[in-house]
Structure 1
Amino acid sequence: MAPSDLNTPNRPKALGLGVACQERIVFISVVIPTYNRQPILEKCLRAMEQQQFPDPTPVAGYEIIVVDDGSTDGTVAWLTAETAQFPHVRLVQQDHQGPAAARNLGVHRAQGDYIVFIDSDLVVLPDFLQCHAATLVEGQARLGQRVFTYGRVINTCNFDDPTSEPYKVTDFSQAYFATGNVAIAKHWLLQAGLFDTQFTLYGWEDLELGVRLKQLGLTLIKCPDAVGYHWHPPFSLAQVPKLIDQEIQRGRMGVLFYQKHPTWDVRLMIQMTWLHRVLWGVLTLGGQLNEKTLAPLLQWLIDRGKPQLALEVARIFLNWYNVQGVYAAYAEQQRG
């Protein structure tokens, strides 16, 4: 299927703002790649349609570009039938090529001066875009044009009321550029070269672009008031095989990341150091604490209503699989 774009509106004119805001008016394109996530995508889009802006505001308007990456769950048919409920949404389609290609397509189709990336399982608050825009304007006045903003992501498994989840220590992120909740001028993305579509498996395509953005001298500004609630289903043992596969894929993509940027910082990020090998080796007793031996403990925690704690315990052996995947892929790359 060739990429297509449905319901393309004209870019809105600037709102009636005061003179002081006219030089800082921004039109925002929210780019959301999606693949077989129709139920949570609906919550995501309904929240995005509820954005509110004070007067005056630096925001001239916004559009929501949903890039469907070849979904087979009826996402396209549903969204096409419900266009009246989502007036800001533009639906773009492509064959299944992964999130890097989907985000690139969204950026190319975007009419906005600024791009906001979120994932299709993120539910935001009504002041989400206003917070990003106001922080961008303030940051540019203080630091110049080479800035972008990164909002707060709170993980939740509460599908009925995702925004009720409080912020937790485990939600803290030190990522420089991650596409779960970020706002950046479109021209910086184009200058950096967009996402590398060689990252066809799980992980690292956004952080790799972040390395190139950092080389352009961009400064990250934290924007904790731009809150997004990242929904995922409650952890269960049935998810473990998929999570292990993701960690192995992330290991392979980590080696690709290191090939492109062979630095110590990247080695730390992808866990390709002796420290990580020893750490996860010790914590898993050389792999003996794994999905099989820890299954009774994980199920016990789940049965007692603590699926998030069970997931944190599972991350011990998941990190071990990731490190094993990194070194296996690196050895393969060295041989090849």
Structure 2
Amino acid sequence: MFFSIIIPTYNRQPILEKCIQALENQIITDQELVTGYEIIIVDDGSTDNTVSWLKKQSFPHVRLFQQDHQGPATARNLGINKAKRDFIIFIDSDLVVTKNFIQAHAHCLNQSPDKTFTYGRVINTSNFENPTAEPYKITDFSAAYFATGNVAIHRQWLEKAGLFDTQFQLYGWEDLELGVRLKKLGLKLIKCPEAIGYHWHPPFTLEQLPKLIEQEIERGKMGIIFYEKHPTWEVKMMIQKTILHRILWGTLSLGGLLNERTMRPLLQWLIQRGKSGLALEIARIFLNWYTVQAVYGKK
């Protein structure tokens, strides 16, 4: 198996460096099974130093492609089109993998029947200096069928499903929507917990709130496109377009009275006491209300 690892990126140069270094340091124990790999970086119109930095490096496996800022769906499709071989691994540019990452995906794929893909473990961390030191937590569990944070699949299934839908230009759902189409083809998800990626994000601060709110509004708007393509109860639940979600998040946020302004003192108090993770979980109450409102066209 020769793997093409496709990584869309946008303004993430510091963590991207750790992402690439981890991939360059892979240990391949079965070279008959894993014959090689390439790292396809698709820069989605970054405005930081990502491209200039990459052009100065000499990573042996990296191939760089650029596009105007069009979102991860278009970037991943470009990566698929540029891939040299048939086995694709998708990860995000803020993911740092372990040294046996590629070997683990290859082993799981090799042991699986046809019409399968493998999904590795994703562990969330705020530890920039040593992200792989983070232990697995209950909150890291994911029930997603197809999520591009850490997944390996044969190229033929992506092409038969129709690749990523480029209507999804804002934040959210482009990978799960493709997953719906892959499921219709009869593909089976195989969990591969040995293929571990550590998803880095900075510790929560109040300065992040405007961007997080924007992301939740975008997620709601993209959720509308998702449901228009697949008007099923399953998708309704995924995008939170039900009366249950309106009641739940409307009640918890007191109809929007608990928001980034009114909750600011409590969130700041928690952050100052080293509880930024708890502060973020509390902030998700009103962040989810923004999502639900956007799904119903209220934002």
TM-score higher than 0.5 here?
Answer: yes
Distance in 1 (alpha carbons) for counterparts of 2:112 and 2:280: 37
CA distance in 1, matches of 2:69, 2:257: 37
Greater than 4 Å deviation, 4+ residue runs: none
Q: Provide the rounded CA distance (Å) in 1 between the counterparts of 2:280 and 2:171.
A: 19
Please state if 1:137 is matched with 2:110. Answer: yes
Q: 1:190 aligns with which of 146, 159, 163?
A: 159
Whether contact under 8 Å (1:57, 1:130) holds in the other structure is: no
In 2, the alpha carbon distance for the partners of 1:299 and 1:58 equals 51
Aligned residues: 299
CA distance in 2, matches of 1:245, 1:158: 25
Show the counterpart of 1:16.
Answer: none
CA RMSD between the two structures: 1.1
1 CA distance for matches of 2:3 and 2:160?
18
Q: Which has the larger radius of gyration?
A: 1
- The question of whether the paired residues in 1 share the 8 Å contact of 2:30 and 2:103 is answered with no
Map of 2:81 onto structure 1: 108
Taking the TM superposition and a 5 Å limit, the aligned residue runs for 1:1-336 are 26-55=1-30, 57-83=32-58, 86-140=59-113, 145-328=114-297
Matching residue's letter, 2:79 = G
Structure 1 unmatched ranges of 5 or more? 1-25
CA contact (8 A) 2:74 2:164 kept: yes
CA distance in 1, matches of 2:67, 2:31: 38
Deviation per CA, 1:246-281: give whole Å up to 9, x if none.
Answer: 111110100100000000000000000011111111
CA distance in 2, matches of 1:78, 1:41: 11
Q: C-alpha offsets along residues 82-101 of structure 1, whole Å, 9 cap, x if unaligned?
A: 12xx1000111111111100
Distance (Å, rounded) in 1 between the aligned partners of 2:87 and 2:278: 37
Q: Is the 8 A contact 1:62 1:112 kept in 2?
A: no
Paired with 1:95 and 1:327, the residues of 2 have a C-alpha distance of 30
* Secondary structure in 2 matching 1:227: strand
Structure 2 residue runs of 5 or longer lacking an equivalent are: none
Q: Offset at 1:168? A: 1.1
Q: How does the TM-score come out when normalised to structure 2? A: 0.98
Give the superposition deviation at 1:57: 4.7
Q: Deviations over 1:193-213 (max 9, x none)?
A: 100000111100000000000
CA distance in 2, matches of 1:277, 1:58: 50
CA distance in structure 1 between the partners assigned to 2:46 and 2:255 by the alignment: 39
What is the one-letter code of the residue matched to 1:127?
N
The structural deviation recorded for 1:56 is: 5.3
